[in-house]
Amino acid sequence: MQKANAGDPIAQHSLAIQYLLGEGVEADTSKSVYWLKKAAAADVTAARYNLGIFQFNGWHTEWDPYGAFTNFLYAAESGMREAQLGVGILYTEDLIVRRNYPEALKWLSKASLAGSANASEKLHQLEKKGLITIDTLQKMVTLSNKLIKAQQSTTDNNEKALLQYIDFEADTIETPSDSVLFADALEECAGLDTLGISSFNPDTIRHKFSYIKNVLEQCAEYGNPEAITLLGRIYENGIFTGKNLLKAAYLYTRGVRVESPRAAFFLWRMIQDPVFIRQLTNMAGKKDVAATFVSARLSILGITNIPDQRRALQLLESVAGQSDDAALEAAFCYLQGKGTAKDEEKGMQMLRSLAGKDIKEAKLWYSLFLLNTGHLSVYTDEETLNKSVYYGSLPVLAVKGIMNRDGIGTTQNYALAADYFRRAASRGSASSYALLKKLYDERRPQDELFK
């Protein structure tokens, strides 16, 4: 402390870490940031990186992603592996700096060669999608690091704050395995992480399947895309349920509503099967509610055989009394002018009616549309919003993001707004990515690096 007060930058950084961790002193994040800024001003590499983490997340300092990137870049150029990973990821996002895959390749390769398994994984993802080409040596390192990561149960703590990858490039090379879908669900479905299961192997999950299915169904009620998609696969493959392709398509259709790219992939693959389409059409012709909903929704999306969206809306309305999902989609049609003249008043009335029936997802969509139309309040209370976050709802992340961005029902907090938008975008929400990009653009400095 004496050395730090005397201006020793190494002591200042050490003291900052002690205040952060509460080692030898009472933990005090504000004091930690104070001393980090002192050390960073003297270009201590670790201090520049750590201050960048605080700026990037808005922890006890102003949310400043551009200042954070400047600090990350300095630390990366100084050889810090974690910073090289961060800079590489940020060059793929098109938010702070323009997307630049050659720069991403450069920095991710440096981090991977220095031993970062996360950098190796990101390189593998980018190469698989044809966005970069990595050399033979890097491929060997990438494979080695991926194997090391597979044997580890935790991520390097220094890398966790920058690992919400945002990636909208469609993976057309291979179908996501059920284990990958289960890993997604483990991240976002509260309760699954208590089972001690890491893969979706029938022999492993047999005795716990009922609990798993109940958790997924509860999360799905709130609009959790990972839960909805995995449930779809369960019915598509008949895992302890009996195969039910119509039920699977119904779930995938719901998944598309909450912007699940995986649900969209599986739904698209299903409708390439002419046998399934004939069965769907026949069942819809017999007034089957689920088949009518799926057929109409596919038409609204413009990818099936009902001749026009107006007819599709009529079909949705014909089964709305029997299917809350159909009623919800019909409300969206009026709000967006699909199959009918745009009628926001009617659409909002329909959403409010569904929300009043305690339909969890409808409450969140109604709140979101209220915010998008300039209202300064939401339909749901804070407890419901927090419960929705807990159960992995994707729509609630946009709701919470807008509330924090505009200071509605809470203190204005751009850092939290960015975090909610980023979490949704990292799960496939293009609309949340657009909100995040707008938040960045409105605060973009004039420096050449960020234009």
Q: How much of the chain, in percent, has pLDDT values that exceed 70?
A: 91
Q: pLDDT tens digit string along 91-109?
A: 999 999 999 999 999 999 9
Neighbours of 155 (CB within 10 A): 12
Residue 199 or 355, more confident: 355
Cβ 360 vs Cβ 221: under 8 Å: yes
Q: pLDDT tens digit string along 20-69?
A: 999 999 999 999 999 999 999 999 999 999 999 999 999 999 999 999 99
Cα(80)–Cα(339) distance, rounded to whole angstroms?
A: 55
Long-range contacts made by residues 243-249, C-beta under 8 angstroms, separation at least 24?
245/270, 245/276, 245/279, 246/279, 246/280, 246/283, 246/288, 246/290, 246/291, 246/294, 247/290, 249/276, 249/280, 249/294
Region 233-252 average pLDDT: 96
Give the pLDDT confidence score for residue 382 in this predicted structure.
87
Cα(284)–Cα(287) distance, rounded to whole angstroms?
A: 5
Residue ranges of domains in the chain, CATH in brackets: 2-154 (1.25.40.10), 164-270 (1.25.40)
Closest CA to 288 of 256, 326, 251, 258: 326
Q: Is the pLDDT of residue 149 over 60?
A: no
Q: Is the pLDDT of residue 394 over 90?
A: yes
Give the pLDDT confidence score for residue 147 in this predicted structure.
56
pTM for this model (two decimals): 0.89
Q: Is the pLDDT of residue 168 over 70?
A: no
Cα(300)–Cα(79) distance, rounded to whole angstroms?
A: 52
Name the DSSP letter for residue 193.
Answer: G
Q: pLDDT tens digit string along 400-420?
A: 999 999 999 999 999 999 999
Q: Is the pLDDT of residue 160 over 70?
A: no
CA 56 from chain centre, in angstroms, equals: 17
Helix (H) or strand (E) holding 334: helix 324-336
Cα(203)–Cα(239) distance, rounded to whole angstroms?
A: 11
- The tokens of 111 are what? 């981090």
Average pLDDT, the chain: 90
**CA angle, 49 then 417 then 390, to 5°:** 100
Q: Is the pLDDT of residue 155 over 70?
A: no
Q: Which amino acid is residue 394, in one-letter code?
A: L
